[in-house]
Structure 1
Amino acid sequence: MANVLNILLKNTALCPLKHAVKPQLVSLFQTQVRTLYSESTLGIDGYKAQRLRTQNQLSNIAEKFRTKMHDYTSDDSKNMIFTEDLKNMIHLAENDDVDLIIKMMNRFNEQNKQLRFGTFVFGPVVMRMFYYLNKPDEALKCFKSENLKGFFDQLITYQLLMDLMYNNQRYQDILDLFEDIRERQIESTQFPRNIIVLTLAACYKLNTKESWDFALNLWNKLMEAGHMPMRRAVTFCAALALKQNNPSACLEMISSAKNQNYTTVRNLKVLALTQVGRIEDVLPILKSVYNQDDSMKNQTFNVDVIELIKEQVEKLDSVEVKQEFSKIHSYLKDNHISDMTLEEQLCLEIATPPFLGNKRNNYNNTQDMRYNRFQRRNDDFTKRRPFDSKRPGLSDMQ
């Protein structure tokens, strides 16, 4: 398919343009800002719950604990930062605590290079903290820090960081991160599915020639590797092709989607066909919903897509096509036209993670699953602390 796409992009004569749509079709895709992955999908709701538990447990000593951690991270301090300290501070974190936590992470990571005290994986929970506090600059700086090399190498951590960038419209940062993540190839995964979705979403949002070239290059690599992107990745890339006036590429990309009847796939297909002037091929797709039951109400075609098709039909000389479309439109407007625009539907929040067997894909990293099992077994962090007879514990600060 990669070769086919390249040929199509270079040879527009392959597409009939008798009634080609002007670039006004691109106006359907007005950029909107919203989150891509929901908090539950990313585990942010779990982080919030643990914050509340930790704050309740340490309510009487929180400030003393903060002061102690400042002392322990001073340049002349010989004290060690233990797993429990960092966990508690991450779940107590407010905006003013970020610098302290970064110092604690650096010291913890340095002291653990020679001896690892525990199996707790901090990357995901630290990134959830940055996400919760909306600290994209600090998150990116820590991710790239040589002092924290290996600290954030988990697939869910990558997803959290890229989604944080997406929320802050840092789309170019996402593309830069993708190259870095590919080089790391954690768990021997060259093309993590959720990372691909976020990367192509960033390309779609940027909507520049450079981002289109990036997306097309990535798409070709996916096809060459035999990787089948998730539907959301396919629709972002195909929609970008339309934005960049490449309906041929859109049609080829859409053809790889497993479910050709899915609403965004269907809408993109009819738009691409409309853009290349093949209205006669659009009508059968519009009529394909005739036998669907009422459970598909308002889930079939987007209102702005139907309006654009209507405009193009009215420009045709064919009375027969106009009459047929009028009949189809009368049927569709009763049950099968959604008030949601295509842009809104393309960028809907991903609220429920895909299931792989009985495991949720938002914890598709074995280390992150181990972290969550560990966290459930140890909700009360103050009950256990490393043995250190010279050092006061949390209970000693009361």
Structure 2
Amino acid sequence: MSIFVKNFVKISLNNNLRLFSPCRSHGPCRAIHFTKVQHLYSPLSLGIDNYLQTRKRVKDQFVSFSDKFRTKMIEFVGDSKNMIFTEDLKNMVHIAEPTDLDLIVKMIKKFNTQSTEYRFGSFVFGPVVMRMFHFLDAPKEALQCFYDPANNEFFDQLVSYQLLLDLLYNHEMYDEMYKVFEVIKEKQINMTKYPKYSVVLILAACYKQNTKQSLEYASSLWSDMTSVGTTPVRRASSFFAALALKQGAPHIALEAISTQKQNYVTIRNIKATALARGARADDALRALRAVLELDAPAGTRHTFFEETISAVRQAVEQSNDKDLQREFETIEKALNDRGLIDNQTLDQLVSSEITVNVKNKTSRGVTTFQNKKLPFDHRQRRNMN
């Protein structure tokens, strides 16, 4: 099965299927089978679409002599007299197949350690190489390069961190994500100890693990961030709060969303659920009622999940307060009549794929992000999560 077929399934169709890499010439074949995989950041958000465009162009240029070029690069990495130049590595990264990964790892190491006397460009390789690893679905090789002391500073870009963490997340390599995140914090690239996209990914890992230890890690990270004045983005807050709910800590969930606007569907449902599970049935009802009192524009639906309504119903019943029970029934009927209760779950929404439009890819190989040019319905859906 070709690498293009594999990634057509993985990236283009986004159907949550992973195909393990085909055989490599230097070792035994890997079995090809299907497993479920949960993507967090979309390929567009990670700039992989730009990598694929460049990859197609370079492969077209090398169509008749790619094997000769590979042979030459194998000779170069094995000969101390020869150098790996910028164009050599750029071309190899864009024609790479799974069987080339060992060669590329060696090329990166040699390129990064050889003399910089003959380097006149300012191309930053880290993000492009990480996109290659992501495209080839090669987390082990990505980690090998990331940790190699010979590659010091090679991957010191915030987007490279995001790409690596996202690749590990796709493979449920959560323990490895924690280790990588500790390195990220120590490096503090751009004077940033807690890069927002990396924070989202590490809290996503905590949420997926759903253990007492992962909640302790997330709580400690949260405290460290807030102590230095760092405000996590909404998706990070949602992961932390949803984890707290799963671990029976509604008070932590409420604190996690305290800095977020309450009109977002994730935040609204987390708040009502946390209040209900915290034996604050009257406050939970107030959260439900607030939606009915909104003077919302036509077509705007401020919904609650069925599971949220169920949590509030249980809290009201446990209160043994007849007035609260009658009020709940009135509110539930009004929400139903207006079509404001849906069967989506908090887990589905908080784990949904994040799409951030790529504005442009700079000449230094670093991708910047822009959301304004998304189609309106995509912007609206993302902004309401």
Same fold (TM over 0.5): yes
Q: Which moved more, 1:101-110 or 1:123-132?
A: 101-110
| 1:302 counterpart (301, 305, 308) | 305
CA distance in 2, matches of 1:278, 1:269: 11
CA distance in 1, matches of 2:290, 2:111: 60
CA distance in 1, matches of 2:366, 2:183: 29
Query: Tell me, which stretches of 5 or more residues in structure 1 are unaligned?
Result: 1-31, 354-358, 375-398
Note the alpha carbon deviations across 1:94-122, whole angstroms, 9 max, x for none: 10010111111111112245553421111
**Aligned residues of 1:71 and 1:77 also touching (Cα < 8 A):** no
Residues 101-116 of structure 1: pairs in structure 2 closer than 5 A: 101-113=104-116, 115-116=118-119
| 1:139 counterpart (122, 131, 142) | 142
CA distance in 2, matches of 1:62, 1:203: 43
Counterpart of 2:280 in structure 1 is: 278
Counterpart of 1:348 in structure 2 is: 352
CA distance in 2, matches of 1:268, 1:128: 34
Alignment pair present for 1:127 and 2:120: no
Alignment pair present for 1:226 and 2:219: no
Counterpart of 1:371 in structure 2 is: 364
CA distance in 1, matches of 2:91, 2:264: 45
**Aligned residues of 2:125 and 2:365 also touching (Cα < 8 A):** no
Residues 117-196 of structure 1: pairs in structure 2 closer than 5 A: 117-196=120-199
| 2:38 counterpart (29, 34, 41) | 34
The alignment partner of 2:44 has SS state of helix
**Aligned residues of 2:157 and 2:189 also touching (Cα < 8 A):** yes
CA distance in 1, matches of 2:328, 2:286: 10
Alignment pair present for 1:317 and 2:320: yes
Residues 34-53 of structure 1: pairs in structure 2 closer than 5 A: 34-53=38-57
Alignment pair present for 1:200 and 2:203: yes
**Aligned residues of 1:131 and 1:160 also touching (Cα < 8 A):** yes
Counterpart of 1:260 in structure 2 is: 262
The alignment partner of 2:299 has SS state of helix
Counterpart of 1:287 in structure 2 is: 289
CA distance in 1, matches of 2:275, 2:47: 40
Higher relative contact order (CA 8 A, sep 6+): 1
CA distance in 1, matches of 2:216, 2:320: 37
CA distance in 2, matches of 1:150, 1:91: 21
CA distance in 2, matches of 1:303, 1:115: 64
Note the alpha carbon deviations across 1:73-130, whole angstroms, 9 max, x for none: 22x4522111111111111011001011111111111224555342111100000000
The alignment partner of 2:284 has SS state of helix
Query: Could you tell me which amino acid in structure 2 is paired with residue 146 of structure 1?
Result: P
Q: Aligned pair in 2 of structure 1 residues 373, 275: CA closer, same or farther (>3 Å)?
A: closer
Note the alpha carbon deviations across 1:270-317, whole angstroms, 9 max, x for none: 1111111111111121111223345233x5212222233234434442
CA RMSD of aligned residues (A): 2.1
Q: Aligned pair in 2 of structure 1 residues 155, 112: CA closer, same or farther (>3 Å)?
A: farther
The alignment partner of 1:39 has SS state of coil
**Aligned residues of 1:296 and 1:336 also touching (Cα < 8 A):** no
Counterpart of 2:66 in structure 1 is: 62
Normalized against structure 2, the TM-score is what?
0.81
Q: Aligned pair in 2 of structure 1 residues 42, 112: CA closer, same or farther (>3 Å)?
A: farther
**Aligned residues of 2:124 and 2:365 also touching (Cα < 8 A):** no
**Aligned residues of 2:127 and 2:365 also touching (Cα < 8 A):** no
Q: Aligned pair in 2 of structure 1 residues 347, 199: CA closer, same or farther (>3 Å)?
A: same
**Aligned residues of 1:124 and 1:154 also touching (Cα < 8 A):** yes
CA distance in 1, matches of 2:169, 2:289: 37
Counterpart of 2:340 in structure 1 is: 336
Q: CA deviation at 1:50?
A: 1.0
**Aligned residues of 1:294 and 1:335 also touching (Cα < 8 A):** no
Bigger fraction of residues in helix: 1
| 1:87 counterpart (79, 83, 90) | 90
Counterpart of 1:395 in structure 2 is: none
Query: Tell me, which stretches of 5 or more residues in structure 2 are unaligned?
Result: 1-35, 368-385
Q: Which moved more, 1:245-254 or 1:45-54?
A: 245-254
Note the alpha carbon deviations across 1:323-357, whole angstroms, 9 max, x for none: 2222221222242123321101111111125xxxx
Alignment pair present for 1:235 and 2:228: no
**Aligned residues of 2:305 and 2:344 also touching (Cα < 8 A):** yes
Identity of aligned residues (%): 45
CA distance in 1, matches of 2:117, 2:241: 48
